[in-house]
Amino acid sequence: MKHRTVYPFTAIVGQEEMKTALLLSIVMPSLGGVLIKGEKGTAKSTAVRAAAALLPDLHAVRGCACHCDPARPELYCDACQERSAEGKLPQEEVPMCVVELPVSATEDRVVGTLDMETAIQHGRKAFEPGILAAANRNILYVDEINLLEDHIVDILLDSAAMGVNTVEREGISYAHPARFVLIGTMNPEEGDIRPQLLDRFALSVTVAGEQDAESRVEVIRRRIAYERDADAFAATYAAEQEQLHTQIVAARQRVANVAVPDDILGLAAQVSLTLGVDGHRADITLIKAGIAHAALAGRTAVNAEDLLRVSRLVLAHRMRRRPFEEEAVDWSAVDAILGASA
């Protein structure tokens, strides 16, 4: 069966906040992931799957199911640690990918399993990798994330917090790194998401259908063209895709050296205090998102404009609200603080 050509990311009409959030997470995987909320038919899943074509290659240990980073031996899985004791491990370039976690996935499918018969008979660990192993250093995508079983949510929370997945059975354990970019999509009409999981997302965006008639016509025109000849349609956006891919690769190389002036740190703290968000995670995430935005823009220092552009993505889901309160956030104070400094 022929592989279906994915809809190009650069062909998506509108939805600028969603596209920005996805790009920031690709540029800085340690940022913390993206939650995309919206009604059906607003290109949520299309955008996530389309982002796969923009992902850079990974430098990984050859043959490792977890794509362990040769430059980070302290993060090797148990198998790579055993192999490294025998000498230098072979390396390879592998493309990053989007690994999907179905809402119906069982715990064994997510965390992986241990073959106890092999362990007992041959005295060695035989680990069957799960979704978390495949997702290491990649994007883990969960459609309808609000419908995930609670025990699977707990596994994701533990892995996101520790960066490690440990499987234990009958006194035998196997550990591997589980550092992934978590991207979830959901339709709020189908239920809410657990607060503990919501807080783990660095960025959150709410999408809706285009309200401009001309934009809606363009959505229809492009979708029909894609369905008639996906390869030809993708070819018309190949140059834009390559340009964006190059921009992302350059931004990933630049991000570690982006400077954050003290006055920018002060602005981030001032914004969080003004909005009354809880804890310090919002401040830290606002700065990290600003770093990723600056790197993507090709700059070497964060400015107030960067914070302004990412503020809604970072802070909208962190606002302190009373039960059953759903009123819109007043962003005028944030715009005044950051706009005056831009």
Annotated catalytic sites, by residue?
A: 281
**Are 301 and 260 contacting, i.e. CB atoms less than 8 angstroms apart?**
yes
| Residue spans of alpha helices (H) in the chain | 16-27, 44-51, 78-84, 107-111, 116-122, 131-135, 150-162, 195-198, 213-228, 230-236, 238-254, 262-275, 281-296, 304-315, 332-341
- Determine the residue type at 244: L
CA angle 181, 183, 184 (to 5 degrees): 150
**Are 171 and 178 contacting, i.e. CB atoms less than 8 angstroms apart?**
no
Q: Which of 15, 76, 94, 86 is nearest to 47 (CA)?
A: 15
**Are 151 and 107 contacting, i.e. CB atoms less than 8 angstroms apart?**
yes
Cα separations (Å) of 238 from 48, 52, 226, 257? 18, 14, 14, 30
CA angle 315, 262, 337 (to 5 degrees): 45
Report the alpha-carbon distance of residue 189 to residue 84 in Å, rounded.
Answer: 50
**Are 32 and 289 contacting, i.e. CB atoms less than 8 angstroms apart?**
no
Q: Which of 49, 98, 18, 15 is nearest to 230 (CA)?
A: 49
**Are 101 and 144 contacting, i.e. CB atoms less than 8 angstroms apart?**
no
Q: In the chain, count H helices and then E strands.
A: 15, 11
Report the alpha-carbon distance of residue 305 to residue 338 in Å, rounded.
Answer: 7
